Amino acid sequence: MRSVYELFPILDTYQDRNAGYLSGGEQQMVAIGQALMARPQVLILDEPTSGLAPVVIGQIYDSLMTLRANGLALIVVEQGVERALDKCDRYYVFERGTVASEGRPDDAEAAARITAIVRGFADETV
């Protein structure tokens, strides 16, 4: 628990509160903390910041980058193309169940290609 509180200090102040009374971002922090209690080697997150305030998104991604820096492998499903490319080592874009694009985020055309696929314009000019 201590490591979860170090990762998400705000949760330490709410130890006695039912998670149902926390904000959406705090509930997401609790969910990530619960997953971490199993000490996984890989953490898979599906849209971990969907619908959250920008400041909370930053806090969650900062925490995820701390986990990554400490050796935890992360697989994150994310529709925020720019944010995902900024934080990842490698990306895969799936379209209709198959890999439509993959690569490293330093690929100069990656953001445009991924955005076209995500928005349904993959068959157009990109």
User: Could you report the per-residue pLDDT of 60-79, keeping only the tens digit for each?
Assistant: 999 999 999 999 999 999 88
Question: Which of 2-6, 28-32, 80-84 has maximum average pLDDT?
Answer: 28-32
Q: Which tens digits make up the pLDDT trace of 12-55?
A: 888 888 888 898 999 999 999 999 999 999 999 999 999 999 99
SS (HEC) of the chain = CHHHHHHCHHHHCCCCCCHHHCCHHHHHHHHHHHHHCCCCCEEEEECCCCCCCHHHHHHHHHHHHHHHHCCCEEEEECCCHHHHHHHCCCEEEEECCEEEEEECCCCCCHHHHHHHHHCCCCCCCC
Do both 18 and 34 map to the same domain? Answer: yes
Do both 53 and 7 map to the same domain? Answer: yes
| Model confidence at 124: pLDDT above 70 | no
Do both 21 and 67 map to the same domain? Answer: yes
Domain count, the chain: 2
The whole-number pLDDT of residue 86 equals 86
Verdict on whether the full-model pTM lies above 0.85: no
Q: Domain boundary residue among 60, 77, 94?
A: 77
